[in-house]
Amino acid sequence: MVTVTLVLAGGPGFPSGSPDHRYEVAATLDAADHLDAAAWTADPNPWPVRCFRPGEPERRGDVQHDSETGWSLRLEASGEAPEQAEPLINPGALRPGAHVTLRSVDGRDCAWRVVNVA
């Protein structure tokens, strides 16, 4: 299992991105550096996610996978923020420099850049 760190590369309100907005996703990757659905299914433990936003408490959650809808990051409710699932749109290979798209609960797509895989 590795930890994939994503930082906001661009989206509504942040056209140039923001390194202060990030996710840390623990996951197993396959030989091509894609999220490994077989490993996720076989793992009895959730794959943890941490979400960081300036001025907000850290939010925790887990990676979800559905064979029909794909991958998403589910975040637990925190304060006034409800539980939410943010689908990963065509995550592709998760290597430093790669980009992924997350769709927020309000339907906005934001680009995230992989900055570290450790």
Q: What are the pLDDT digits (tens) for 42-93?
A: 999 999 999 999 998 999 999 999 999 999 999 998 777 677 888 998 889 9
Provide the whole-model pTM.
Answer: 0.91
Give the domain extent around 93.
2-117
Cα R_g (the chain), whole angstroms: 13
Question: Tokens at residue 53, please?
Answer: 């936003």
Burial (0-12, 13-18, 19+ Cβ within 10 Å), 112: buried
The total number of structural domains in the chain stands at 1
Q: What are the pLDDT digits (tens) for 6-45?
A: 999 987 788 888 999 999 999 999 999 999 999 999 999 9
